[in-house]
Every structure is written in structure tokens, then in C-alpha cells.
Structure 1
Amino acid sequence: MTTKKALLMLDYQVALCEEGPHLRMPPLAAQVAERGVLATAGKVLASARAAGVFVAHVRLAFDPSYRLRTNRLPRFDPYEEQRAMLADSPEAQIVRALAPVAGEPVIDKGCVDPFVGTPLRDVLAAEGVTEVVLGGVATNLVVESAARHASDSGLQVIVVEDMCASFRADFHAFSVANMLPLFGSVTSSADLHF
């Protein structure tokens, strides 16, 4: 069977990754900066595009009613209470350095898992994708959720460790060493080949 890869860019959003007026998660943005995640993700994204690999961007973004929010835990309540991460707000946008180009879909989700309540799995199937390459923030949230769901859906999974960060370095390290290898392979951007 022929392998067809897709690169999934997970939650590289202004509110999560960039210092400034729209930042919602300072510890996460600090780890993103310390680890050089955006620069690494930019290099991988450029390589994928040059190789003609299908790229999809995923982001946490809500409609004005917040009724499409699939995660109804109290932890997600502040988004609605603060009218945060609305789809058209500056904070919900993908960071400029990793902005989608023509032909790259942006999938909006209302929870941690990028497959729940979205067309992502169907889109990958329509593209004939058999293997997903994952990078994103936070490692122990969206990246782990994506790896679990993708592997359970029959996809092969590769996680690019240096495209990821979490709120704390030890959260990232634990996920990379103990959780992600259960659902796929973990590699570095230097060892990734499209």
C-alpha cells in the first residue's frame, strides 16, 4: 500500500504562541519561544509545501453562539464567558509565520481533539492520506489527542518533537517519552523526510 502523508499544523494560534495583547496562555507562549517552535514549524511547513504534501491547519475557534463548542467541561466555560477565541478575532488566528496559503484548509474545532466535531478525518480520507505528521501546542493536549484519534482511526502517526511545546517543559518531556510513542513514532525535524 502506498503511503500518503499529510502535515497537520495544530493550534499555532496568536493567543497561544505569541507575546502581545492577544496572549491568553503566557506559560505556553514562553515555552514556544524558548524551544524555537515557530521557527522549526516554519521550516517543516516549507519542506512539506515544497514536497507537495497535503497541509491542514487546525485551530480552536468558536462561532458567536458558542453552541458548536463540543467540550462542555467547566474548564472551557471562560471562553464563552469572556467571548474569547471567536473565529474572526485576532487571538484565534494562526500566527503569521505559519499562515495558511491557498489550498490549505483551516479546520475549526470546539474542543481539544482536532477530529471531534470537525470534518478532518473525512478530509484526510478524501485526500487518500494514510499517515499524518503532527506538530502543535500543547504537546500533552492537542498533539496527544490528535495522535490517539488518528491511530485509532487507522492512520500512521509521526510526531515532530521540536514542533511541539507545552505549558511546562516537564509536561512536554513526559508526553514525548511516555505517551506519544504509544500512538506513533516520535522524531525530530532534522530526521523528518517528506
Structure 2
Amino acid sequence: MTHSRKALLLLDYQVALCEEGPHLRMPPLAAQVAERGVLVTAEKVLAAARTAGWLVVHVRLAFDPSYVLRTNRLARFDAYPDQRAMLTDSPEAKIVQALAPLPGEPVVDKGCVDPFVGTPLLQVLAAEGVGEVVLGGVATNLVVESAARHASDAGLQVTVVEDMCASFRPDFHEFSVANMLPLFGTVTSAEELLGSLA
């Protein structure tokens, strides 16, 4: 049986990571998101994916109050429980308004970098008959790269929309796009993707 359905995976487009304001946790990342116009680009791709009838899945870093479901136990993740940060219901963990999920679009909460670890994402994609995932998110060299690696190893076709992504520093993004992501899938631009849908 061939899986032909496409899914758009929107990765970590959250208030704490993408938006200037009181809930911002990662100023260098938000600055790159703004400079690269990532949210505007993502909004266009999201609208096209919805029109095309793709499965749209929103993924975010969000923790239950116990923080025990946090699978990443590295020291750099200790800030979250220490500061009671990125709780499921908190304003900072919310998906940015421009890309807010519509009713019927699933939101997957994860406790680590990789959206497939400790979540039902892979099973959901299989159940929905998805054979190709289109990725966009922040940071390029973290969640996007992790998702691309995992998805390709799991037998999915992977496309990364480069201008839907940003990292903490331009050189991190550029290295990932030029050297790492092409190992796991196709890297494209929003314009090319939208052109192929038109």
C-alpha cells in the first residue's frame, strides 16, 4: 500500500521562542525569526497546505506540572522545571497567533527536542496514511534537524522549507541547511513549494 498523503509539521512556533514581549525566552532566536520573516512565510505555507487538504500537525515544547514526562534530562533542560517554564497552559508555551491551530488540527506536546520521542506523532502519521512530511520550525539545527533525521529513518519522505526555519545564529541555520538537512530529505523554499501546489 502506498502512502501518498502529505503532512505539514509546524515545529515549535511558540510565543517563548518566536515573539518579542514579556514571555520571550530566546531573544537571539526571536530576532532571527523576525529578520528572516519566518512567521509570515509559515503563514502562507500553512494556508496553502490547508487548502490542499494536507494533514496539519502543530508540535510544541510543553510540560505537565510534574515535569516527569520531560524525556530530555540534560542539564540545559533543567531550567524548565527550575523556573516552572513552558507549562502546557502557560502563555509562553502557546503557538503564535499567526499559526494558531484550527479546530481539528492536532497539537503534539513534547518533552525534548525530537518531536517523535515520547509522542504519538509517528503512529498518527501512519494512521492518517501520510508518506511525506513537510517541515518548518525553529530552531533549524535542533527540532527541524531532529525531525528530519527521525522521519527519514522511519521511512517517510522529508521536505524542509528553508525559509520557514531559523536558528539562534545565522551560521547555525546555514550550516544545517547546506550540510545536514540534505542528508535526510529535500530542502526547498516556500516559493518553490507554493509553486508546485498552484
Q: TM-score, structure 1 length as denominator?
A: 0.99
What residue is the counterpart of 1:5 in the other structure? 6
What residue is the counterpart of 1:77 in the other structure? 78
C-alpha change, 1:153 and 1:130, in structure 2 (3 Å) is same
Compute the displacement of 1:3 (Å). Answer: 2.1
Q: Which residue identity is paired with 2:17?
A: L
C-alpha change, 1:86 and 1:128, in structure 2 (3 Å) is same
Q: Distance in 2 between matches of 1:120 and 1:113?
A: 11
Compute the displacement of 1:2 (Å). Answer: 5.1
Q: Secondary structure at the match of 1:130?
A: strand
What residue is the counterpart of 1:123 in the other structure? 124
The number of residues matched between the two structures is 194
What residue is the counterpart of 2:52 in the other structure? 51
In structure 2, runs of 5+ residues without a counterpart are none
Q: Give % identity.
A: 81
Compute the displacement of 1:173 (Å). Answer: 0.2
Q: Which residue identity is paired with 2:74?
A: L
Compute the displacement of 1:51 (Å). Answer: 0.7
What residue is the counterpart of 1:25 in the other structure? 26
In structure 1, runs of 5+ residues without a counterpart are none
What residue is the counterpart of 1:90 in the other structure? 91
Q: Distance in 1 between matches of 2:155 and 2:76?
A: 30
Q: Secondary structure at the match of 2:136?
A: strand
Structure 1: which 4+ aligned runs deviate by more than 3 Å?
Answer: none
Q: Which residue identity is paired with 2:77?
A: F
Compute the displacement of 1:39 (Å). Answer: 0.1
Superposed, which structure 2 residues align to 1:1-194 within 5 Å? 1=2, 3-192=4-193, 193-194=196-197
C-alpha change, 1:2 and 1:88, in structure 2 (3 Å) is closer
Q: Which residue identity is paired with 1:171?
A: F
Q: Secondary structure at the match of 1:175?
A: helix
Q: Secondary structure at the match of 1:149?
A: helix
CA RMSD of aligned residues (A): 0.7
Deviations 1:97-141 (A, max 9, x none): 000001100000000000000000000000000000000000000
Deviations 1:62-114 (A, max 9, x none): 00000000000001000000000000000000000000001100000000000
